[in-house]
Amino acid sequence: MTGRTWRKVRNGLLFTLPWTVGLLGFIVYPVVASVYHSFCDYSVLRPAVWIGLGNYVDLLQDEVFWIALWNTVVFAVVALPLGIVTAIGLALLLNTKVRGVVVYRTIFFIPSLVPMVTLAMLWMWIFNGRYGILNYVLNGVMRWLHLPWEAPGWLLDPHWAKPALILMGLWGCGHAVVIFLAGLQDIPETLYEAAEIDGANRWQKTWHVTLPMLSPVIYFNLIMGIIGTFQVFAVPYIMTGGGPGRATLFYTMAIFQFAFEDLRMGYASAMAVILFLIIVGLTWLATRVSRGHVHYGGL
């Protein structure tokens, strides 16, 4: 290596040094430490004691672990497809050439910019059983229709708390809508013209042209949605704290409770490792299933 080449390599390493230090200090080390501590009895206040697979064996017998995992799986199975379908539908509507479409796009994107704490506090009042606007409207409609049904106390009812959080999640799908909208605008108009020549109607063009050409974007949002739904934490933690009756105790909330409330850091690390394996497995499964259904560049 010549002196000039060495100086270029040195300068490149120096420029990437801040990022490299951040990667090693804030990502690589915590991950490695978490994997190690998952095999230890560790409470932060005392040195870690190696116990092998003890934490993992205890997890399989822990009712809280299974409740949190079940709640998270149910939330992901319902919220993820519903969110993708809603985002695609809104993107299709916002892709039409109507007057003031820029204003409509802004309106649908703004909710995704609201901070999570503010979002949680806002929806806590919307879902309030006595004073919330949602119950006020629903009860008014039921009285107008003369139906004997009264809106529930959403966040206080174990049967309605999880659906309430899923419904609230649709309000912030603006990021996914923007991504889908960008994908829609990249679809060549010639494909729609060719479909019209073949006699395709609007639904057939959507099913046979729009969705196949949008498949890479759908795949991207699916992977990001898997990661996001299995890591849901802030909003349900603020709104329900895992209640009522652990109906909204999600996986990451259980990790937080074990780690920072019970000071069972090794136990929480084992849960984190299991969560990592679940997300990796679901991502791999989604990739395998999507083969032959995701089309890049019209292929």
Nearest residue to 177 (alpha-carbon basis) of 252, 264, 103, 105: 105
pTM: 0.90
Q: Which pLDDT score, from 0 to 100, does residue 253 have?
A: 96
Mean pLDDT (whole number) for 187-191: 89
Q: Which pLDDT score, from 0 to 100, does residue 273 have?
A: 96
CA 293 to centroid of chain Cα atoms: 22
Task: Express each pLDDT in 281-290 by its tens digit.
Answer: 999 999 998 8
Burial of residue 186 (number of CB atoms within 10 Å: 0-12, 13-18, 19+) = exposed
Phi-psi region of 263 (alpha: psi -120 to 50; beta: other; left: phi over 0): left
Please give the span between the terminal C-alpha atoms of the chain, in angstroms, as a whole number.
Answer: 44
Mean pLDDT (whole number) for 41-60: 93
Domain-wise residue ranges, the chain: 55-99+173-290
Q: Which pLDDT score, from 0 to 100, does residue 1 have?
A: 66
Q: What does the alpha-carbon distance between residue 272 and residue 137 come to, in Å, rounded to a whole number?
A: 41
Look at the block and give the residue holding tokens 């849901």. 232
Q: What does the alpha-carbon distance between residue 81 and residue 86 come to, in Å, rounded to a whole number?
A: 8
Q: Which pLDDT score, from 0 to 100, does residue 231 have?
A: 94
Task: Express each pLDDT in 201-260 by its tens digit.
Answer: 989 999 989 999 999 999 999 999 999 999 999 999 999 999 898 999 999 999 999 999
User: Is the confidence at residue 76, as pLDDT, over 80?
Assistant: yes
Mean pLDDT of the chain, nearest integer: 91
Mean pLDDT (whole number) for 267-291: 94
216 preceded by a cis bond (ω within 30 of 0):
no
Q: What does the alpha-carbon distance between residue 108 and residue 172 come to, in Å, rounded to a whole number?
A: 8
**CATH class held by domain 55-99+173-290:** mainly alpha
Long-range contacts of the stretch 51-56 (C-beta < 8 A, 24+): 51/266, 55/266, 55/267, 55/269, 55/270, 56/270, 56/274
User: Is the confidence at residue 299, as pLDDT, over 60?
Assistant: no
Look at the block and give the residue holding tokens 């290596």. 1
Q: Which pLDDT score, from 0 to 100, does residue 102 have?
A: 87
Q: What does the alpha-carbon distance between residue 134 and residue 164 come to, in Å, rounded to a whole number?
A: 11
Nearest residue to 210 (alpha-carbon basis) of 80, 86, 92, 82: 92
User: Is the confidence at residue 75, as pLDDT, over 90?
Assistant: yes
**Percent above pLDDT 70 for the chain:** 99
Task: Express each pLDDT in 90-141 by its tens digit.
Answer: 999 999 888 888 898 888 888 888 888 888 999 999 999 888 999 999 999 9
